[in-house]
């Protein structure tokens, strides 16, 4: 039985975790926060927390008219949820009563139920008209400023529009015909885009392992590598496994490495569901050895390219760890290059919008390794715009690209060939 109160209570808890503890939603989901909810309530909670975070600036702008004193975070998050639902067309009676009751039952903040009731009733009356006048929410300054420096203010405003719109569901079919039953839009790169996807596990072909969920941008590195049957291929930082599945489907002899045993559990589940095979290793990238025909290094990064699907990221992070990530990427790139056979190839990629995690890394690597050369000609097979190819020979993808089709994640990739 659906329980809207429990779904909303879960949303408020998740907002507390993101905005108070700087904990990513994925971490809370992995810890089982949603497990007690019925499937429809689980979907509702995930949708509401994502949409509230996407609209946090708007929610706070409206609340600022009615809150004159500092409000405990838990109560403010309850109000934020209420503002979003009311301004998005939620039934005022149900939204207001449920939020008030949730706050009333809180051991420390129950006395503020009257404030919550008064504020939300004012929002129900005036909020929707005010909401329609507000700008698209902007990224926090700690992230917006470097992105404006990289891409310019006009581009960032369009990227923010893409973040606010969210992301459609993209899938990668195991074979050319595997996605036919889904009636989606086949993108130039071969991904299939579903605009009105229901529960993923209920879609045709899921149980049979005919496809897997993977953003169109994230599917390009494995296609760029163009592995052949029998090649020895290494997938570094492999979890949750979309690229591993692509490589295995090509017939390559795949070794998938990731430091997180927990995340590798999902990779193993996907291999079993799709009836594909790969050697799976839980370990540090910098401790791997051997020689491979082809390698993908999807290096740990800021993940700033995935904000349209993970709107919690700008609020759970502050950029303080970016310097360490950039150093780690350089170390991983250098070590991975030592594992490429002479005449072999490697794709370096990151799901980042920051040039320091993409273009700059490859530019420095090209100057460091005399046997390394970028191959921009390989991008022709992906069906992408030639203007996306960068000066050093990589490919820059952004959320505002393919806007008419629903956009894509921000990504950077480069195909690097080793001389014989």
In a domain, 9, yes or no: yes
Instruction: Give the separation between CA 133 and CA 353, rounded to whole angstroms.
Output: 29
Residues 257 and 338 reside in one and the same domain: yes
Residues 276 and 186 reside in one and the same domain: yes
Each residue's pLDDT tens digit, 247-274: 999 999 999 999 999 899 999 999 999 9
In a domain, 263, yes or no: yes
What is the extent of the structural domain holding 30? Answer: 4-131
Residues 217 and 335 reside in one and the same domain: yes
Instruction: Say how many domains are in the chain.
Output: 2
Residues 180 and 124 reside in one and the same domain: no
In a domain, 144, yes or no: no
In a domain, 143, yes or no: no
In a domain, 137, yes or no: no
Residues 90 and 183 reside in one and the same domain: no
Positions of the chain with pLDDT lower than 50, given as ranges? 1
- What local confidence, expressed as pLDDT, does residue 183 receive? 82
Boundary of a domain, candidates 107, 131, 155: 131
- Supply the pTM of this predicted model: 0.93
Q: Which two tokens stand for residue 232?
A: 């020895």
Residues 106 and 251 reside in one and the same domain: no
- What local confidence, expressed as pLDDT, does residue 244 receive? 98
Residues 109 and 179 reside in one and the same domain: no
Residues 263 and 406 reside in one and the same domain: yes
Boundary of a domain, candidates 106, 131, 156: 131
In a domain, 160, yes or no: no
Residues 26 and 78 reside in one and the same domain: yes
Residues 220 and 325 reside in one and the same domain: yes
Residues 209 and 61 reside in one and the same domain: no
- What local confidence, expressed as pLDDT, does residue 42 receive? 93
In a domain, 151, yes or no: no
In a domain, 395, yes or no: yes
Active site positions, annotated: 351
Look up the CATH number of the domain holding residue 21.
1.10.940.10
- What local confidence, expressed as pLDDT, does residue 151 receive? 97
Boundary of a domain, candidates 110, 131, 152: 131
Each residue's pLDDT tens digit, 55-92: 999 999 999 999 988 999 999 999 999 999 999 998 89
Instruction: Give the separation between CA 310 and CA 308, rounded to whole angstroms.
Output: 6
- What local confidence, expressed as pLDDT, does residue 202 receive? 84
- Sign of the alpha-carbon torsion through 219, 222, 225, 229: negative
Look up the CATH number of the domain holding residue 297.
3.40.50.150
Backbone angles phi, psi at 253, to 5 degrees: -90, 100
Residues 298 and 363 reside in one and the same domain: yes
């Amino acid at each position: 039985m659906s329980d809207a109160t429990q779904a909303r209570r879960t949303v408020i808890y998740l907002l507390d975790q993101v905005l108070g503890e700087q904990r990513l939603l994925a971490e809370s989901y992995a810890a089982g926060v949603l497990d007690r909810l019925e499937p429809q309530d689980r979907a509702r909670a995930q949708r509401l927390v994502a949409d509230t975070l996407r609209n946090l600036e708007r929610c706070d702008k409206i609340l600022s008219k009615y809150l004159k004193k500092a409000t405990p975070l838990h109560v403010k998050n309850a109000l934020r949820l209420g503002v979003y639902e009311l301004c998005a067309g939620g039934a005022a009676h149900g939204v207001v009563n449920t939020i008030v009751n949730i706050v009333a039952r809180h051991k420390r903040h129950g006395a503020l139920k009257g404030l919550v009731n008064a504020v939300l009733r004012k929002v129900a009356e005036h909020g929707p008209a005010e909401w329609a006048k507000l700008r698209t929410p902007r990224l926090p300054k700690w992230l917006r400023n470097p992105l404006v420096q990289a891409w310019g203010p006009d581009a960032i405003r369009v990227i923010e529009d893409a973040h606010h719109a969210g992301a459609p569901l993209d899938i990668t079919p195991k074979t050319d015909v595997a996605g036919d039953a889904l009636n989606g839009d086949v993108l130039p790169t071969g991904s299939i885009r579903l605009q009105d996807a229901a529960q993923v596990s209920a879609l045709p072909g899921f149980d049979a392992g005919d496809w897997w969920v993977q953003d169109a941008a994230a599917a390009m590195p494995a296609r760029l590598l163009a592995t052949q049957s029998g090649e020895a291929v290494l997938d570094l930082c492999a979890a949750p496994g979309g690229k591993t599945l692509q490589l295995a489907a090509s017939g390559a002899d795949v070794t998938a490495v990731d430091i997180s045993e927990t995340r590798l559990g999902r990779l193993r589940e996907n291999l079993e569901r799709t009836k594909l095979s790969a050697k799976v290793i839980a370990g540090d990238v910098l401790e791997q050895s051997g020689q491979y025909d082809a390698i993908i290094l999807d290096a740990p990064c800021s993940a700033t390219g995935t904000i349209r699907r993970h709107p919690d990221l700008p609020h759970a992070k502050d950029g303080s760890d970016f310097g360490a990530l950039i150093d780690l990427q350089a170390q991983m790139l250098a070590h991975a290059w030592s594992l490429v056979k002479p005449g072999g190839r490697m794709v370096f990629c990151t799901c980042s919008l920051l040039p320091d995690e993409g273009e700059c890394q490859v530019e420095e690597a090209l100057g460091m390794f005399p046997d390394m050369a970028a191959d921009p000609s390989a991008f022709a097979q992906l069906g992408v715009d030639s203007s996306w190819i960068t000066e050093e020979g990589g490919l820059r993808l952004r959320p505002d690209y393919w806007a008419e089709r629903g956009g894509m994640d921000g990504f950077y990739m480069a195909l690097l060939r080793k001389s014989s």
